[in-house]
Structure 1
């Protein structure tokens, strides 16, 4: 096996250079979510480093949530469960009272320069275009969330021509399949506001009704921001619970 060269800054510790190399191979799609990476011994031979160096690099990626060790099976590229975010915050139940994930429908798509706060969050240059999606999420036909989603056009241009009905209920696997863009992590912030006319119409509530707004910045495995999402839901469905021990 030909030994690979670590390309990261030589001033960095060896394990950190290896960490960035592993992360880059995940980000490129060479190692996909839910699949195992090579063993520590195999990576040590491939890069010509000690097994301890590999273990330290892998440990940092496990701690960051990019990798997951499965006892007896190996170390896998982790696919985060983003849907659990909304289940933490909203009482999303059907008529029988069962917790459920809402069905999503993209109702509008356009190519546009986003608001400044979105450009800043996505680290885009001025006037850079995005694909802007409007999406409604329903439970048994009742709208529970309305969403505005912005994606950098340079990375997601394949979505510009896809029929709206082809967008899946879960968007992140759809991004991966259609554009090769893998979402690895996200940061969310939450606030309470009042429904404007557009939000009230989408959620079938009264203008001025309280709504909860969740802003999400989703990142790739290399920490590149890939999506800005603003989700709004009626405050009457909002629920927050935390266990403290």
Structure 2
């Protein structure tokens, strides 16, 4: 089913805000401007701006307009854990910290369902913001036999689920875990944080149609950069 028009407009503006295209302080279109741009009524335009404000993405000021807020990014946790949704990223660059083929016993976090001596492609990447501060760390582990040419890809920008689909790999299910952990010294150094800092780790396990593991991935965000929330419709219609 096609999403309601107000939601499509809201999601477009939200994506531009989260990607940095509309940085903090940017003035958004007025209700009248939204009406003219999208051919919508006043109530629909009001709803778009009201919901962006409810999500903490903008601030509305009487007579001045609506402006993108300062502060940490906010992310709907339901969207964050859905592998089918490709969300906008923090502006900045990726860095491949390491990429190699190693035994499964050598990777972090440990991979369930693989023998210790199974060859795996192990990828560690960092994300930097526009000021070159490390903001995120990613670990990805893929059985070497499943994707033997993985290291030949553009690893700076590779996204595993679309890669699997493009290669015809029959992935079937994906499960997300959220773990509160304390950073060890090596991981803290990569994120620019002190050892023992508490962080939220997202882990994703993806399986093939035959039940074998396709990928184990983990993501760590530097604390203070993102607020997670859950937003769901409670309307009766």
> Which TM-score applies when normalising by structure 1?
0.51
Deviations 1:137-196 (A, max 9, x none): 233233221111110111011124x16x5552433323444x442545421111222222
**Equivalent in the alignment of 2:96:** 106
Q: Provide structure 1 residue ranges, at least 5 long, that are not aligned to the other structure.
A: 1-69, 72-86
- Structure with the higher fraction of residues in helix conformation: 1
**Equivalent in the alignment of 2:177:** 189
Are 1:235 and 2:226 an aligned pair?
no
Are 1:203 and 2:130 an aligned pair?
no
Which of 114, 118, 121 matches 1:128?
118
Q: State the aligned residue count.
A: 153
Relative to structure 1, the CA distance from residue 152 to residue 208 in structure 2 (aligned partners, 3 Å threshold; closer, same or farther) is same
Displacement of 1:207: 2.5
Relative to structure 1, the CA distance from residue 175 to residue 137 in structure 2 (aligned partners, 3 Å threshold; closer, same or farther) is farther
Contact kept, 8 Å, 2:104 with 2:114, in 1: the verdict is no
Secondary structure at the aligned position of 2:161 is classed as: helix
Which of 68, 92, 96 matches 2:23?
96
Q: Distance in 2 between matches of 1:159 and 1:204?
A: 29
> Which TM-score applies when normalising by structure 2?
0.53
Secondary structure at the aligned position of 1:208 is classed as: coil
Deviations 1:60-119 (A, max 9, x none): xxxxxxxxxx68xxxxxxxxxxxxxxx9xxx96649247641454332112111239744
What is the root-mean-square deviation in Å for CA atoms of aligned residues?
A: 3.3
Q: Distance in 2 between matches of 1:167 and 1:220?
A: 25
Displacement of 1:242: 1.6
**Equivalent in the alignment of 1:217:** 205
